[in-house]
Amino acid sequence: MKNLVKALKRCAVAGAAALAVVSLQPVSNAQAAPAPVVGGTRAAQGEFPFMVRLSMGCGGSLLTQQIVLTAAHCVSGSGNNTSITATAGVVDLQNTSGRVQVRSTKVLQAPGYNGTGKDWALIKLASPITTQATLKIATTTQYNTGTFTVAGWGSASEGGAQQRYLLKATVPFVSDATCRSYSGYSGLVASEEICAGFTAGGVDTCQGDSGGPMFRRDAAGAWIQVGIVSWGIGCARPNAPGVYSEVSTFASAITAAAATL
């Protein structure tokens, strides 16, 4: 039951768009990620130009103009894959003005991914999205504390519908020790995952937000990605933070893998 709840927390349910505190992983996956915006507000057009919506019901970010970084649990494996459509350039998914949609050509799921940790994947697009900015990834733990921004089109409440508009929210860092002390979080892989959320709940990622970025400003004031929406217990519940893949841990592997696509 715990894994099922986690899966529902971050994965998208068909026909629903979640930005809440549940996992962003597909419901078929055993482990799910938190959706970014239960308790969130609508993002402005162009505010986060690196955000991508994926047709399987997950989020992602533009690592390069032709490669999307998302969660491993959002894809079924590695290899040629033309079944995924990436949507970028708009906060309103129904707005055709400025919207860019590109099909996938290849998918690379994190080597060794088995449902616990290593929750990252890359999707190569058929053509580059040249009109949108990319999001650099953290290569050290320097930015793995403080307050983070999350965003997505996932559920805005646990079990709710997926959203038409991109929502955003801010969540504070939660230490590994504190995160592990909560019910259902003893399996946290501290070396590969990072927690964020409020003790009282109310703000979180949710179903449909899986694979989306958790990011903050770096020393130069630029956005930098520190996490990937992975899983959580429900959405925005008290004492149940969102869990994100720790990007800095996998930065070298992600960069090397991207070079092979």
Annotated catalytic residue within 119, 155, 245, 248: 119
Burial 79-100 (b: 16+ CB within 10 A, else e): eebeebebbbbbbbbeeeeeeb
252 is catalytic: no
73 is catalytic: yes
Give residue 43's identity as a one-letter amino acid code. Answer: A
Residue 82 CA to residue 80 CA, distance in Å, equals: 7
92 is catalytic: no
Is 138 strand, coil or helix? coil
Give me the phi and psi of 151, to 5 degrees please: -155, 150
Nearest to residue 10, comparing CAs of 33, 37, 36, 40?
A: 33
Annotated catalytic residue within 210, 230, 245, 248: 210
Annotated catalytic residue within 23, 61, 73, 104: 73
Question: CB neighbours (10 Å) of residue 181?
Answer: 12
List residues with catalytic annotation: 73, 119, 210
